[in-house]
Structure 1
């Protein structure tokens, strides 16, 4: 059997490979196979071959393909540290750029770094270091100080500079001979974010360096096309969805984390009272909200009303990585509903009344009130029986000012669980990626 593309999603524990045929009017999934991710064995291609062998057992013939592309969260994913000037300004902007590209933020500093910060970076061993700081032609010294400190540490870690444009020449001199990416300032002017150029560069840096990660060094023996961080691929797909259907949020509830991607500018009424700017495309990662690895965290957060007559002890006893019985699915859904509720509450902003005059308000955070579509992806929301009902529960049905999605937002499910596939595919064939999204999301 011949596939146009096979797309691998290399997770921390499982490698999923999907074979696609795009020759017809509609995309066709030929087969999907699974294997264990074999980074710890020192060679990720072992798991890739296992997943392809699984496909060949299903189709009972040899599988061939024109091109193989991949997303990966294995080998720790895209670990980054972020270093800026003011926490609520340049640091926040750099962090938004990193998260939107699929980064896992392991450390954030504001102001001038110290020797203890360098020691932490050495311990973390990130894939990328991001230096920001200063609006264009504004404060210069902090970013240069931090760059010198990082250079003197001789860390052999790629650096992305996305701060004050006036520093670019000196930054290049400081890191001469080292792997350096210089990009437009993420915070060029007060109250203005410019995160997309940095996100594109982070993707390029990831693809250049993923082959150096332990266990990933042989990935190019099989993957001859694009490689993206899995969360970055989902964000890419979310941005495509925005172009196709309008303002959208995408929720992905996993075993360890819950990710929320939103692409919306919000409403003009909120923008007028917003204290700090927010990116149009935003991603948040709730590292404590997972249905298996972090299930205890979610269970601890359950209130009596969440338990639907059950006990926390009962729920704990019936949590499985892949729920199979009705009781296990019921308990997973209780956790999934809570994870979704908390992830949306943390991602969305809030409005605060000021007691300085009648009808005085200020807004903080991301405005989701103009979202037209709420999409569920990932194993839990696409495979549990009541994924749509869980997503219905996040809508705001009151009359007060709120930054939550409204009652008229429509619910859709990524029925084939292919958003990450579509995201990485869009780098090579955007038309095929759009067809894939249209086919799966309804």
Structure 2
């Protein structure tokens, strides 16, 4: 059988392959999926990839497979690990962090101001795939970013560097790393003026750097030989899909409750009313990662948030015994119900942490109301992707409840927001596919979401 394109999602535990045909027509088709354990521990992720291809062939009943192109996303070997270093935490540091998260990074170290010896030691311990240095608005403060660059350069850290700070420093930054082995990327300032974000150039360079230098999982060089298009971090691919979809159907959030983390991507300008009273700028496309909210690896964190007594009443069983029987993929009615309760708590918590809030400040002229953080009140669509929110029986109701939680001061989606499910579980694949075939990716997304 000959098909147009395969997209491999090389995860930390599972490798998934998605197959597509008629990519060059107005009616592209999703053919099916195969999966296998990711083979990082065997020293070659290609083994897992071949296993996923074999599983796909079995699933659709073919013995031979020929394909024209292969694209890939990866979160193997810990994903894209980064450290981020800026000037003022609420300004350049936050802007740099937004750019890194939006590109699909996992941030292991964040600093504001001058780096200390302990910070350098921590960077060495983390051993990030990329280091992002920012600091200073354009033609503003210069010294701290230069100081931080010199400390990193002199510490013998070989990691590629992205500089996205004050443009006046660019020449000196080149000079600092001129004789160093670090690959250096220089981009426009992520925070060029007070209250102005410029995240997209940095986000694009981070994904490019990931593809060029950061494929550290064993055997990834062999995957690079097979792949004919881009390889980007899996969370970054979900963001790309969300951005393409937003242009077509309107403001949205995409929620992925996983075994270890819960990711939330929002793509919305917010409402004019809230923008007028916003204290500091927010990116249109924003991603947050809740590292403590996972329905398998971090199950106990969510159980503690809900409370064992509450869960005992809802489940009518011994919660401790149930937790011992818990599996990555629930296979009994009791375990499915348990995971649905965990998923609901993870989803609600992630949305509350992601969303902004109204704040009242009191002064000589009385009370004034300001907004802080990301405004989700204009969101028209709540999209579920990932294992839990595409496979659990109660997935739609879990997401519907988000839109009726809008009480108090949080800037949450309103009750008019509608729920969509990535039924084929292919959003990440379509994100990377959209880099090369945006029209086909949008058509396939609409098919998976079951919308016109």
Is contact 2:330–2:336 with CA below 8 Å preserved after alignment? yes
Is contact 1:249–1:371 with CA below 8 Å preserved after alignment? yes
Is contact 2:7–2:72 with CA below 8 Å preserved after alignment? yes
Aligned to 1:194: 198
Q: Distance between the aligned counterparts of 1:15 and 1:211, measured in 2?
A: 15
Count of aligned pairs between the two proteins: 442
Matches for 1:33-44 after TM superposition, within 5 Å: 33-44=34-45
Q: Distance between the aligned counterparts of 2:196 and 2:313, measured in 1?
A: 45
> Residues 305 and 360 from structure 1, CA distance in 2 versus in 1: closer, same or farther, beyond 3 angstroms?
farther
Render the CA deviation track for 1:95-154: whole Å, top value 9, x for unaligned: 000000000000001101012211111111110000000000000000000001111112
Render the CA deviation track for 1:15-62: whole Å, top value 9, x for unaligned: 001111125643322231111111122111111111111122332321
The offset of 1:438, in angstroms, is 1.1
Matches for 1:201-220 after TM superposition, within 5 Å: 201-220=205-224
Aligned to 1:403: 411
Aligned to 2:423: 415
Q: Distance between the aligned counterparts of 1:197 and 1:437, measured in 2?
A: 25
User: How large is the RMSD of aligned CA atoms in angstroms?
Assistant: 1.6
Aligned to 1:85: 87
The offset of 1:216, in angstroms, is 2.2
> Residues 397 and 152 from structure 1, CA distance in 2 versus in 1: closer, same or farther, beyond 3 angstroms?
closer
Matches for 1:85-104 after TM superposition, within 5 Å: 85-104=87-106
> Residues 306 and 192 from structure 1, CA distance in 2 versus in 1: closer, same or farther, beyond 3 angstroms?
farther
Aligned to 1:114: 116
Q: Distance between the aligned counterparts of 2:374 and 2:33, measured in 1?
A: 37
Aligned to 1:344: 351
Q: Is 2:50 the partner of 1:49? A: yes
Is contact 1:45–1:222 with CA below 8 Å preserved after alignment? no
Q: Distance between the aligned counterparts of 1:186 and 1:339, measured in 2?
A: 31
Matches for 1:289-438 after TM superposition, within 5 Å: 289-303=293-307, 309-310=314-315, 312-313=319-320, 315-356=322-363, 357-396=365-404, 402-438=410-446
Look up the SS of the partner of 2:31 in the other structure: strand
Look up the SS of the partner of 2:40 in the other structure: coil
Q: Is 2:268 the partner of 1:264? A: yes
1:222 to 226, 249, 268: 226
Stretch of structure 1 that moved more, 245-254 or 21-30: 21-30
The offset of 1:306, in angstroms, is 6.0
The offset of 1:401, in angstroms, is 5.2
Q: Distance between the aligned counterparts of 1:373 and 1:308, measured in 2?
A: 33
TM-score, scaled relative to structure 1: 0.96
Is contact 2:384–2:399 with CA below 8 Å preserved after alignment? yes
> Residues 379 and 308 from structure 1, CA distance in 2 versus in 1: closer, same or farther, beyond 3 angstroms?
farther
1:143 to 124, 142, 145: 145
Is contact 2:406–2:415 with CA below 8 Å preserved after alignment? no
TM-score, scaled relative to structure 2: 0.94
The offset of 1:262, in angstroms, is 0.1
Render the CA deviation track for 1:166-201: whole Å, top value 9, x for unaligned: 101111111115310000000000011110110000
Aligned to 1:11: 11
Matches for 1:63-82 after TM superposition, within 5 Å: 63-82=65-84
2:236 to 232, 244, 247: 232
1:176 to 158, 175, 178: 178
